Protein backbone atom coordinates (compact mmCIF):
# COMPACT_ATOMS: atom_id res chain seq x y z
CA UNK A 1 0.00 0.00 0.00
CA UNK A 2 2.68 2.50 1.04
CA UNK A 3 4.81 1.31 -1.88
CA UNK A 4 2.15 2.34 -4.39
CA UNK A 5 1.59 5.71 -2.75
CA UNK A 6 5.33 6.43 -2.80
CA UNK A 7 5.39 5.69 -6.52
CA UNK A 8 2.50 8.10 -6.97
CA UNK A 9 4.38 10.80 -5.05
CA UNK A 10 7.52 10.24 -7.12
CA UNK A 11 5.56 10.55 -10.33
CA UNK A 12 4.00 13.77 -9.07
CA UNK A 13 7.42 15.21 -8.21
CA UNK A 14 8.80 14.28 -11.63
CA UNK A 15 5.83 15.93 -13.29
CA UNK A 16 6.18 19.14 -11.28
CA UNK A 17 9.98 19.35 -11.54
CA UNK A 18 9.88 19.11 -15.32
CA UNK A 19 10.95 22.58 -16.53
CA UNK A 20 8.82 22.57 -19.64
CA UNK A 21 5.75 20.44 -20.23
CA UNK A 22 5.70 18.51 -23.49
CA UNK A 23 2.72 18.04 -25.73
CA UNK A 24 1.73 15.76 -28.57
CA UNK A 25 2.65 17.37 -31.94
CA UNK A 26 -0.42 15.79 -33.52
CA UNK A 27 -3.30 16.60 -31.14
CA UNK A 28 -1.46 18.95 -28.71
CA UNK A 29 -2.53 16.82 -25.78
CA UNK A 30 -0.28 16.72 -22.68
CA UNK A 31 -0.85 12.96 -22.54
CA UNK A 32 2.59 12.35 -24.01
CA UNK A 33 4.86 9.78 -22.43
CA UNK A 34 8.45 8.91 -23.32
CA UNK A 35 9.37 5.29 -23.83
CA UNK A 36 13.13 5.35 -23.32
CA UNK A 37 13.99 1.68 -23.09
CA UNK A 38 17.42 1.76 -24.76
CA UNK A 39 19.24 4.60 -23.03
CA UNK A 40 21.58 5.47 -25.90
CA UNK A 41 18.78 6.21 -28.34
CA UNK A 42 16.52 9.28 -28.19
CA UNK A 43 13.25 8.44 -26.47
CA UNK A 44 10.14 7.64 -28.44
CA UNK A 45 7.13 9.56 -27.28
CA UNK A 46 3.71 7.97 -27.20
CA UNK A 47 0.48 9.95 -27.03
CA UNK A 48 -2.17 8.22 -24.98
CA UNK A 49 -4.89 10.32 -26.55
CA UNK A 50 -4.45 9.97 -30.33
CA UNK A 51 -1.94 7.13 -30.43
CA UNK A 52 0.91 9.16 -31.93
CA UNK A 53 4.35 7.56 -31.65
CA UNK A 54 7.60 9.26 -32.56
CA UNK A 55 10.70 11.17 -31.44
CA UNK A 56 9.09 14.58 -31.90
CA UNK A 57 7.20 16.54 -29.28
CA UNK A 58 5.82 20.02 -28.77
CA UNK A 59 7.31 22.23 -26.09
CA UNK A 60 5.00 24.97 -24.90
CA UNK A 61 6.04 27.22 -22.06
CA UNK A 62 2.87 27.67 -20.05
CA UNK A 63 4.69 29.63 -17.33
CA UNK A 64 5.75 32.37 -19.73
CA UNK A 65 2.20 32.58 -21.00
CA UNK A 66 0.81 33.15 -17.52
CA UNK A 67 3.35 35.85 -16.74
Residues that bind Zn ion (CB under 5 A): 24, 26-27, 29, 47, 49-50, 52
Asked if 20 and 29 count as a contact pair (C-beta separation under 8 A), the reply is: no
Asked if 32 and 57 count as a contact pair (C-beta separation under 8 A), the reply is: yes
Helices (H), 1-67: 2-17, 62-66
Tell the smallest beta-carbon distance from residue 63 to Zn ion (Å): 22
Nearer to Zn ion, 20 or 48 (CB): 48
Nearer to Zn ion, 9 or 34 (CB): 34
Beta bridge partner(s), residue 23: 58
Tell the smallest beta-carbon distance from residue 65 to Zn ion (Å): 20
Nearer to Zn ion, 11 or 50 (CB): 50
Amino acid sequence: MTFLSSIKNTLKEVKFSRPKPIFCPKCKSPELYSNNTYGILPPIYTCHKCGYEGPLFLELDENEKNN
